[in-house]
Each structure stands twice: as structure tokens, then as C-alpha cells.
Chain A
Amino acid sequence: MSGLDRRAVFFAIAGIVCLVLVPVTPSDLQWVGFTMAVTFAVLAAASLLDDLSRSRSRRG
């Protein structure tokens, strides 16, 4: 597994942690958990795409 793959996994885990915390977060602050989960999901996807494009350019 390359470094950037690991970064995507790391961000995905951070997003899951935020999502798991949402039900125990006071209702007025639950949006923080949702926003963080979405942010980390986007960062995980972006890291994965970045890794794929770098792998392709290395092969090409």
C-alpha cells in the first residue's frame, strides 16, 4: 500500500469517528460532526484520486 493510500484510509477512519460521535453530540452541535464526517470523506476521496493519478503518471 502506498503512502497516499494510507492517507486516504486515515481520513476515512477520522470521518467514521466523527460520524459515530454524532448521536452522542448535543443537538445544537451535531452539525459539527456531520460537517467533519463529510469533510474527511471528501479528503479521503481526493487523496485516493491523487494517488491513482500519480500511479498512472509513474507507469506512463
Chain B
Amino acid sequence: MSTPLSLVVLVVAIALVFDFVNGFHDAANSIATVVATRVLTPVQAVIWAAFWNFAAFLVLPLKVANEIAKIIDASAVSIGLVFAGLAGAIFWNVLTARLGLPSSSSHALIGGLLGAGLAKAGPDVVNWEKIKRTAVFIVYSPLVGLALGFVLVVGVMWIVHRMTAKRKVERTFRGLQLVSAAAFSLGHGANDAQKTMGIIAVLLIGANRLDPGVLESADGLPLWIVLSCHGAIALGTMFGGWKIVKTMGNKLTRLQPMGGVCAESAAAMTLFFTSYKGIPVSTTHTITGAIVGVGSANRLSAVRWNVASQVVWAWVLTIPGSAAVAALTYGVVAVLS
């Protein structure tokens, strides 16, 4: 039996709102350096980042979406399960934001699906191999970003310190910031938008409105899902950027173009790799790792360790926390329906 279309549309809309909020929160990662160093005006920067967020579907395969959609066995998926998973992720994000605790939207989404799946049908319907893949990359992705950031900045410093035309060097890196910000936005758009695509795909499969066979190919998802998810994250980036513009002047005055280019490039390379392999990762954790890597090339005390330790807490807390909230939500949904 098919689920009523109105319910399907409602849950798809909630998923797209989640995607929009994801872009809104992560806009700072994409445009902070280009605005702080005045390479682009704030308006130009948000348009630049949003454009590359949207364009990501033309460049990278949809493997992350397929990975997310296969976390729970298709036979167990229902609209109530997907709603509970989304509600768990959203509630956990709001709760942690209010309490000032660290979180990751990506991991919250995976935890939400996991918790709702466990509550509905127990551990047998969970694809533990996919969960394991995601869980180890919660740790790997910031460390890969860190190592790449460190190696890149040391290499660049080694080349640059021999050059005498300092003004030319600065001009070069200001230009390169456009490329690195675009690359990071592309990686962000690919990895994060695809998580919502996976959720929408699994919802439509559960509602008997999409053939599960579409998950067998890397570009099998309907175009409207792909475009709406990239559109939502790009819009979120644009609106998030406006908010950042107000605080930018006070908080980010001492950013150096060279460090920014290296951090964004390192994070972009990590996101390209994980997206290509179909591994969902937190883009915020990845850029944080890359910034720590760039900062530690100068001296270890230059690193803001409180931010780094927050990432470690987010590793530990987010998936179990959002899974617990989603499981409770599913319990309520099951009683009410």
C-alpha cells in the first residue's frame, strides 16, 4: 500500500529544511577566508560558495546518497521511521546548540536513522558494515585533513620563503583563495547534499514511490531529488552567509591568505576523496582538522585546542545521542499511528 502523497511531501520538505539549515550553519567554513581577506565582498562570497555548492552534482558521483539510503534495510523503511530519524537529528542539533555542546549535522542524521531503525525492527535491519565505515571516518576525516593541511602549508612556506617579491606572493594567494573556497564549497555541496538525497530516496522507497534498484547505480536517483537537495544547501549557504557578514569584522580579522588556501585545499581534497568513495563525513570536522594542521605548522600553542576538543566530544556524543532521541520519537510515532 502506498503512503499518502501529502505525508510524503511533508517529510521530504522536512528533509530539505534540514539540508537548508546544514548549508546555513556551514556557510562560515566556505566564505570566512575570502571575506576576511577582502578578496571578495560578502555578497560576492556567498554567491560564489552557493554556486559551487549547487554545481557539485555535475562533478562528483552520488555514492554518499546511496550509502545513506542503504543504512537501513529497505524492507523495514517506513515514513514513520524516516520522520523519526529526521526528528531525532533536528532535535539533537537544536538541543546541543542550546546547551552549547558540539554536534555534527551529518552524524546526527546517521544516528537518527540508526536509532529509528533499531526502535522499529531491531539490529537485524541495520547495515552494520555501512555504520562501521561511517564511524571510522568520523575519526579519519579530521586527521586526513590535519595531515594534508600541515604538509601543504609546510610545502608552500618552503617555496614562498625563498621568494623576494612578497607583494606578488600575496596577490597570488589572494587569487588562489577563490579556487580553494570554490573547491571546498564543491566538496561540501557534494558530501552534505547527498546525505539528504539518501534520506529522501529511502523515504520514497519506503513509501513505494521509488524503485530500490535506483540505488545500484551511482547516478540512478531522479534529477528532481538531486537538484532540490543541492538547491536547498546552496540557499542555506546564501542565507547563512548574510548572518556571518555581521560578525565577520570582529571575529576574523587576522586570517592569512596562505593559511586559508592550504586549509581549504586540504579539506577539499579530503571531501573529494570521501565523496568519491561514498563515505559520509562531517565537513565542519574536516575543515577544523585542516585548520589545526595549518596552525600547528607555526607552533602547537597557535591551535585553539578548545575547538579541537569540542570535535572529539562531538565524535563521542552525536551518533548515540541522536539515535536515542530518534528511537524515542519512533516510539511516540508508533503509539500515535
Contacts and interface: CB of A to CB of B under 8 A. Distances in A.
B133 A26 contact: yes
B300 A18 contact: no
B133 A17 contact: no
Interface of B: 129, 132-133, 136, 139-140, 143-144, 146-147, 150-151, 277, 279, 296, 299-301
B296 A7 contact: yes
A40 B147 contact: yes
- Indicate the size class of the contact surface on chain A: 10 to 19
Contacts of B299: 3-4, 7
Interface string A1-23: 00110110010001001100100
B266 to A, nearest CB: 12
A29 B279 CA distance: 10
Interface of A: 3-4, 6-7, 10, 14, 17-18, 21, 24-26, 29, 32-33, 36, 39-40, 43
Contact of A17 (B129, B132, B143, B277): B143
> Nearest 5 pairs between A and B by C-beta?
A3-B299, A7-B300, A25-B136, A6-B300, A39-B147
A32 B300 contact: no
Contacts of B296: 7, 10
A49 to B, nearest CB: 13
A3 B300 contact: yes
Contacts of A18: 140, 143
A32 B151 CA distance: 17
Contact of A43 (B132, B150, B279, B300): B150
10 contacts: A3-B299, A14-B146, A14-B147, A18-B140, A25-B140, A26-B133, A33-B136, A39-B147, A40-B143, A40-B147
